[in-house]
Structure 1
Amino acid sequence: MTIASTSLNAHERLKGSLGLCSWRAGWRSLLLRAYDEPEEVNDLVTAPTSDQLIVLVTNGSCHIEGRYAGRWHQSRYGLGDIGMTAPGEEVQLRWHKGSGLQTLQLHLSSSTLADVAHLDPTRVGNTSLPNQLVRPDPVVAGVMLGLRRAAQTGASELHAETAVTFLASHLLQFHAGRHPPAHAAVDDRRLLIVDSWLRESLDKQVTLDQLAAAAGLSKFHLLRAFKRRYGETPGQRLSRYRLEEGRRLLSSTRQTITVIAFACGYENATHFATAFRRMFGLSPTEYRRSVR
């Protein structure tokens, strides 16, 4: 999973103000950026890259036009709408009547799409994704918003890698005309190995490649089987285990919150506190006071 250098430099052509960037969080399996967009843009030509670009409107609206395949397309761009630019494509854009427009822009590497396509030989069909000026997709929107929250709270690379593999599978199935594979059972013992690995890796970085190798499964099959068995992805389960361990340490030790954050795999106390409050409804300090 390698993001193209042209994707890393794509912001140089954009008109918006860059906010969040997942690269700063240390993620390398995808590139997610947030922008505050101007109200009007008369001429913007996107940088061609080998990665698939997905743009989600997270706030506001505008009237947008895009030129590709030799002609202009136009639409109203609003909250939850998604646009896509296929790998290698250069798209001319312009918009007006913008109001509070904010976007999330996700670069998904072509190698990720190819890996997911090749992981399951029962899948057939075209793997190319189209240029689409506007197409709502609540699944894609949900994944991108979840990735934004994860980047803000310092989630691990495993979380990002898990999400992007699922997203690639979804795009291939619903946006490239591919067909879902036949159901295949997975021995629960393999999933128990993965679960045990997660429990023992609270203070370590864990990759999807490591988990898949331990289970003897492809990444795609591991994600599908794990979610079916446990109702959550490996990344979500690891986050929960870390926060539950943090809660235990807060109630049973006098360690500082910073020390506990590091012990639970978080880069700093702020990220730990944000994730802790989201799960338990209290800050670490508030929780510690409530149990003493």
Structure 2
Amino acid sequence: MTGEGSGVAETDYYRHVACDDRTTIVRSSALVRFETIRGNTTGTISWRLRQPALTLYWWHQGFAACRVDVAGERVSKHASGDLGIALVPPDASSFGEFDIPGSCSYDVAFLEPLLLEQVDMAFGDVPLICFADDVLKSGMRDLSGWRHDATFGLMAEGWALQAVARIGQVLGSRPMSETAALGRGQIGQVQAFVADNLEQHLGLSELAAVAGVPASDFAAAFRRRTGMTPAGYVRIKRMEMARRLLAMTEWSVGRIAVRAGFDDAVSFSRSFRASEGLSPEEVRIQRS
């Protein structure tokens, strides 16, 4: 787990949760970091995250509603029954708000990339926010109650392998060896298409069509070749375009938002602040 606290690491990984009154119990092994977090607040908790690990959350108390943006996909949910599990793919830039009616508690597990490589499992870059799964919930409950002693590593990594298998069932993922491979020419075509079409919607189906592979294979094949998800790559290119336009033009924030492929100035400013730590206006003032 990288970028603990409010800072942005040099690798562009970060994690920040705006909740003053909270306690965190941390247990870790070589491949798994597991946290149990309890807080007391009434109102809204803001949150932003980008990690190289597959991140799994389980809210078991105090979650009323959320408004979350994960890799450019917006999700708005009200808590209903056991819909307290959230999965954030590796490298996905995520931010949002959670409405908390009082005290809250949740567990979060970070599954390192090496674990996914060891089990030869590829996941797409589509997150699952607010879903129910008794198998994952039961495993996280067991791990939360485990002592942090010499046996924790065995328990954590055994649980993680089961969790990866279960997530694979939920997402319908397949072993990496069974997914299509992308050649250098195909990657170049996709990158050129992204550069020329930032103002357009650039989803998995559009990019997979350019590469000439099934959409179900494209995300894993692209990440295996480039080290990042398609959504992560598009996000980086949108931000690069936005930074250039802020530095080189006097365009309004709204015009820059459209040119860089965002829906509007509000969503652009929110994404820009989550990525850069400053608003577009603040960046422009710094450079003036």
TM-score of the superposition, structure 2-length normalised? 0.50
- Tell me, yes or no, if the aligned pair for 2:65 and 2:98 is still in contact at 8 Å: yes
- Tell me, yes or no, if the aligned pair for 1:52 and 1:110 is still in contact at 8 Å: yes
Cα distance in 1 between the residues matched to 2:163 and 2:76: 26
State the one-letter code of the partner of 2:140. Answer: M
Structure 1 portions without partners, runs of 5+: 119-125, 180-292
Cα distance in 1 between the residues matched to 2:150 and 2:60: 20
State the one-letter code of the partner of 1:88. Answer: D
Of 18, 26, 31, which residue of structure 2 is paired with 1:21?
26
Q: 2:147 matched to 1:148?
A: no
Change (3 A) 1:94 1:59: same
TM-score of the superposition, structure 1-length normalised? 0.49
- Tell me, yes or no, if the aligned pair for 1:67 and 1:91 is still in contact at 8 Å: yes
- Tell me, yes or no, if the aligned pair for 1:57 and 1:79 is still in contact at 8 Å: no
Which SS does the other structure have where 1:151 is aligned?
A: coil
Of structures 1 and 2, the larger Rg is shown by 1
Partner of 2:53: 51
State the one-letter code of the partner of 1:34. Answer: T
Partner of 1:67: 69
Which SS does the other structure have where 2:128 is aligned?
A: coil
Change (3 A) 1:78 1:159: same
Q: Note the alpha carbon deviations across 1:200-224, whole angstroms, 9 max, x for none.
A: xxxxxxxxxxxxxxxxxxxxxxxxx
Structure 2 portions without partners, runs of 5+: 8-12, 176-288
Cα distance in 2 between the residues matched to 1:63 and 1:14: 16
Offset at residue 115 of structure 1 (A): 1.3
Aligned length: 165
Q: In angstroms, what is the RMSD of aligned CA positions?
A: 2.8
State the one-letter code of the partner of 2:119. Answer: V
Cα distance in 2 between the residues matched to 1:103 and 1:138: 15
Structure 1 or 2: larger strand share?
2
Offset at residue 42 of structure 1 (A): 5.6
Cα distance in 2 between the residues matched to 1:164 and 1:172: 12
Cα distance in 2 between the residues matched to 1:22 and 1:78: 29
Offset at residue 11 of structure 1 (A): 8.6
Offset at residue 82 of structure 1 (A): 0.2
Of 35, 38, 43, which residue of structure 1 is paired with 2:37?
35
Q: 2:123 matched to 1:127?
A: yes
State the one-letter code of the partner of 2:89. Answer: A
Partner of 1:159: 155
